[in-house]
Amino acid sequence: MSKFLYENYKDYFRVGAAVSGIILMNDAEREELFQNMKRRMEEFKKNFKPQPGMPEFKFPEPEPFPKGDMPDKKLAAQHFNLVVAENECKMGSIYHGPDNFDFSGADRLLKFARENNQAMRWHTLVWHNQSPRWIFEDGNGGKASKELLEERLKNYIMTVGQRYKDDICSVDVVNECISDKNFILRDGADRSQWFDIMGPDYVDKAFFWAKEAFPNSSLVINDYNLEMIEDKRQGMYNLVKGMKERGVPVDTVGLQMHINIKNPPISEIEQTIELYGSLGLNVIVTEMEVSAYLDKDFEHPDPRREYDQAFLDEQAERYYQIFECFKKEAKAGILKDVVLWGVTDGMSWKNNFPAPGRGDAPLLFDKDGNPKPAFDRLTK
Ligand code: XIL
């Protein structure tokens, strides 16, 4: 076994990490970000109207970033052979107007990937979240027309492809398009302005444009809870089956896999991978972490779990068993990449989701960058 995580799996799949732009910033940039976060939190608190009956909770106070390199930077460089931007390649970070693109965050991650001989993924081209507001507007207080939105989206996809097509191994073309209510395409009432304005073909169109823009990258449809909720898994199956029949160039299903210490059972993960494999599609794991909290804890925003030795050992065993399942599915030719959504616990988005400020410990390194039992279990 090697002390570097990815080397232990190199005969099976690449092991990736989502890299936050924050870890690639210098101290001055981080200080500016911290001041902005403080300002935004104050605004949020001022405008916050609690719902009747809502449990009281303390708002998370932004904390200043430590000076110098954060542990995540070195760990991301050493242990992973694939990276993806946690936020910097989302449309809202890049597309500020019809002819106004800011590629600074994406370029910075690409430079990091090159320096460390890593492959890079693109997350994500089309999503109902973290999209810029202007794109859905006509500039006169109304909604953009279908034609206008299509032109803007196509222009975006082509521009991104022109710049990065030779550097990106796989692209999340459409993210989170299956509804949690009825397991068909998420519509306007369910927060997809893409569906609302372009209609249900927006997914196929995005894939055709992505194929033109990134002719050599694998094209992924990505979603959460596919391994957790059978109806959602089936909904995605129906969608991709139809896409294949229509000749839409989707080749991979991305399982986000924001899972927890108990759920789902490994058998469900295995079934999910094999279900999409049965359509001749590849599968990648795009955003995995193993939360300390079960789904039913979603309602309780209080920080209250000890990340004691028993938890850490249970988490280690769970990571190990799941990675063994991944090895099997890689050998079967279906699973290609496994990406973790972050490096150290301190930087994980799960500290604030679904319960702001609750904290969590879902990754392989603790907040100081020390390897946790789960890391040891995967490398020894
Ligand atoms: C999350 C990031 O981790 C956070 O920093 C950001 O505030 C919100 O988005 N599914 C996705 C990811 O596809 O883009 C999300 O990332 C996590 C859920």
Between 254 and 47, residue with greater pLDDT = 254
The CA distance from 348 to 376, in Å, is 19
The confidence score (pLDDT) of residue 295 equals 72
286 CA closest ligand 1 atom index: 13
Locate 161 and state its tokens: 């492809």
Give the model's pLDDT for residue 181: 97
Torsion-angle region of 117 (φ positive above 0: left; ψ -120 to 50: alpha; else: beta): left
Q: For the whole prediction, is pTM greater than 0.85?
A: yes
**Residue 195 tokens, joined:** 């569906």
pLDDT band at residue 45 using 50, 70 and 90 as cut-offs: confident
Distances (CA, A) of 196 to 200, 218, 309, 332: 8, 27, 48, 39
| Mean pLDDT confidence for 143-172 | 98
**Do 256 and 342 meet the contact criterion of CB atoms below 8 Å apart?**
no
What's residue 262's pLDDT? 94
pLDDT tens per residue, range 90-141: 999 999 999 999 999 999 999 999 999 999 999 999 999 999 999 999 999 9
Q: Ligand 1: which atom is nearest the Cα of residue 341? A: 3
The best mutation among 287, 345, 352, 363 to test binding of ligand 1, ranked by most ligand atoms within 8 Å of the C-beta, falls on: 287
Report percent pLDDT > 90 for the chain. 88
- Smallest CA separation from ligand 1 atom 5, residue: 349
Q: Kindly report the CA angle at 311 between 308 and 317, in degrees rounded to 5?
A: 140
Alpha helix segments (H runs only) across 199-308: 202-213, 230-245, 266-277
Over residues 249-273, mean pLDDT: 98
Active site residues: 176, 287
| Whole-number pLDDT of residue 301 | 63
- Going by pLDDT thresholds of 50, 70 and 90, the confidence category of residue 49 is confident
Q: Which residues pair with 216 in a beta bridge?
A: none
Per-residue H/E/C for 133-171: HHHHECCCCCECCHHHHHHHHHHHHHHHHHHHCCCEEEE
Centre of ligand 1 from the C-alpha of residue 18, in Å: 10
Rounded Cα–Cα distance for residues 72 and 83 (Å): 12
Residues touching ligand 1 (Cβ under 6 Å) are 86-87, 175, 256, 287, 349
Residue 272 has pLDDT above 80, yes or no: yes
Please state, in angstroms and rounded to a whole number, the distance separating the CA atoms of residues 331 and 107.
34
pLDDT at 297: 73
Closest CA to 71 of 365, 370, 369: 369
Going by pLDDT thresholds of 50, 70 and 90, the confidence category of residue 357 is confident
**Does residue 298 carry a pLDDT above 70?**
no
pLDDT of 305 higher than 80: no
pLDDT score, position 303 = 61
* Atom in ligand 1 nearest the alpha carbon of residue 20: 5
Whose C-alpha lies nearest to ligand 1, atom 4?
A: 349
